[in-house]
């Protein structure tokens, strides 16, 4: 079969999305590779590729994928990480010497799926221009390097956005199962339940008489969290062991006011660049809240805005603000919203260039293992 014939059979969404995703990933991987080589010295190209984005939580996911949940010693801390991402790493690993490569494959394939579904989801309400910009803003978002790293962000976004897409299409069984898998990937997957419930009722025009049995699929997302609680029971004998570990070993409790105060204080008292981390926490918390406020103000689709609000609340809920810029990445409707707001070319290029510059800067810091935003 000739190449032009094959290209004609490629879905339109892939034709639009793949060039954007591939170019941005080439930039991110090239920056990470060059930074690692300059910082760590000589090593085999494959070794550099597998390890340049294996920092911080990456190593915990790899440990779970290799050994399962082990509730003893330092490994007991890993019960706070949800199981689907490391399970997929294990399933795609045929040689543990290359387990990091398997993890990168899972992350990067997932993020491509996320970008495709974001494009298709935006097409429900807007033209291709807005949908294309939404994908671009996702790919160049300052913390989008996590979509290429050994982290669960790519998988979570793929499942979450796809769940919304099938909900919009009225395919509630598929939406429900995807929500369940999202809840097996990150705690934020639980927020699909209220968001999808709102979407269901919105499609029924808020008429309770029109509600049918398909609404039950919405609650399937809760099953993912219940499975995680059962894993806690099996491993630690306590369904909420992960919360105790968060409190005792990760020094985290639910106290957003304390988190804000400590970040604010450190931002002004610590010298540069030590205060870069907390400044970023505050800036991205403010940006996420702004996206929620604009969503309500413009009467953006209610299910999207409620999901953004809940995702933002989770990102700033802890007594120590950690990785708020990464958690804000999960607020995917804001990329569609940005696509709507940047009708003027100057606004579009301002967002694209500022995002891209920060993405390059943060990618270098992450490859240097200095900060994890």
Distances (CA, A) of 109 to 21, 145, 158, 307: 11, 14, 9, 24
Smallest Cα–Cα separation from 149: which of 52, 66, 64, 20?
52
Pairwise pLDDT comparison (43 vs 372), residue with the higher score = 43
Residue 373 lies in a domain: no
Note the pLDDT of residue 15.
86
User: Secondary structure of the chain: what % helix, strand, coil (to 5)?
Assistant: 75, 0, 25
How high does pLDDT run on average in the chain?
Answer: 92
Smallest Cα–Cα separation from 21: which of 114, 87, 84, 94?
114
Confidence of residue 45 (pLDDT cuts 50, 70, 90): confident
Confidence of residue 273 (pLDDT cuts 50, 70, 90): low
> Which run of H or of E encompasses 235?
helix 220-236
Boundaries of domain holding 242: 8-367
Residue 129 lies in a domain: yes
Residue 318: phi and psi, rounded to 5, are -90, 165
Confidence of residue 146 (pLDDT cuts 50, 70, 90): very high
Pairwise pLDDT comparison (243 vs 372), residue with the higher score = 243
Q: What is the mean pLDDT of residues 191-205?
A: 96
State the total domains in the chain.
1
Residue 171 lies in a domain: yes
State the Cα–Cα distance between residues 214 and 170, nearest whole angstrom: 9
Q: Which residues pair with 318 in a beta bridge?
A: 254
Note the pLDDT of residue 5.
54
Q: What is the mean pLDDT of residues 190-198?
A: 97
Residue 336 lies in a domain: yes
State the Cα–Cα distance between residues 129 and 114, nearest whole angstrom: 18
Report DSSP letters for 160-205, one per residue: HHHHHHHHHTT-HHHHHHHHHHHHTT-GGGGGHHHHHHHHHHHHTT
Residue 201 lies in a domain: yes
Residue 176, judged by CB atoms within 10 A of its CB (0-12, 13-18, 19+), counts as: buried
pLDDT digits (tens, 9 = 90+) for 69-104: 998 888 888 999 999 999 999 999 999 999 999 999
pLDDT digits (tens, 9 = 90+) for 291-315: 999 999 999 999 999 999 999 999 9
Residue 168 lies in a domain: yes
Note the pLDDT of residue 267.
83
pTM of the model: 0.95
Lowest mean pLDDT among 186-190, 314-318, 342-346: 314-318
Cβ atoms of residues 62 and 106 within 8 Å: no
Residue 12 lies in a domain: yes
Q: What is the mean pLDDT of residues 159-171?
A: 97
Q: Which residues pair with 254 in a beta bridge?
A: 318
Note the pLDDT of residue 4.
54
Residue 2 lies in a domain: no
pLDDT at 6 over 50: no
Pairwise pLDDT comparison (2 vs 154), residue with the higher score = 154
> What is the number of other CB atoms lying within 10 angstroms of the CB of residue 269?
10
pLDDT at 248 over 90: no
Q: What is the mean pLDDT of residues 161-171?
A: 97
């Amino acid at each position: 079969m000739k190449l032009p014939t094959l290209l004609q059979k490629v879905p339109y969404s892939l034709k639009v999305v793949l060039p954007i995703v591939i170019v941005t990933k080439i930039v991110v991987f090239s920056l990470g590779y060059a930074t690692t080589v300059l910082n760590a010295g000589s090593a085999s190209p494959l070794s550099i590729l597998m390890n340049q984005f294996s920092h911080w939580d990456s190593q915990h996911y790899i440990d779970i994928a290799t050994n399962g949940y082990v509730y003893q010693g330092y490994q007991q801390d890993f019960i706070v990480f949800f199981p689907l991402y490391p399970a997929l790493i294990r399933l795609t690993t045929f040689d543990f010497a290359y387990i990091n490569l398997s993890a990168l494959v899972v992350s990067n394939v997932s993020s491509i799926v996320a970008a495709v579904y974001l494009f298709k989801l935006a097409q429900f309400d807007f033209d291709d221009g807005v949908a294309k910009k939404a994908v671009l803003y996702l790919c160049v978002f300052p913390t989008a390097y996590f979509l290429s790293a050994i982290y669960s962000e790519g998988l979570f976004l793929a499942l979450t956005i796809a769940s919304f897409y099938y909900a919009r299409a009225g395919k509630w069984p598929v939406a429900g199962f995807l929500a369940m898998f999202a809840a097996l990937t990150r705690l934020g997957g639980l927020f699909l339940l209220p968001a999808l419930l709102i979407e269901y009722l919105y499609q029924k025009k808020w008429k309770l008489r029109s509600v049918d049995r398909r609404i039950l699929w919405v609650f399937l997302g809760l099953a993912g969290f219940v499975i995680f609680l059962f894993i806690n029971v099996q491993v630690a004998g306590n369904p909420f062991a992960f919360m105790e570990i968060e409190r005792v070993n990760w020094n985290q409790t639910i106290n957003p006011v304390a988190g804000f105060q400590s970040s604010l204080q450190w931002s002004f008292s610590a010298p540069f660049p030590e205060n870069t981390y907390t400044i970023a926490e505050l800036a991205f918390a403010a940006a996420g809240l702004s996206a929620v406020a604009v969503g309500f103000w413009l009467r953006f689709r209610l299910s999207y805005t409620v999901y953004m609000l809940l995702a933002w609340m989770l990102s700033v809920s802890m007594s120590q603000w950690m990785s708020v810029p990464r958690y804000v990445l999960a607020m995917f409707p804001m990329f569609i919203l940005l696509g709507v707001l940047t009708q003027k070319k100057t606004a579009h290029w301002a967002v694209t260039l500022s995002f891209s510059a920060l993405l390059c800067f943060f990618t270098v810091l992450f490859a240097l293992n200095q900060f994890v935003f």
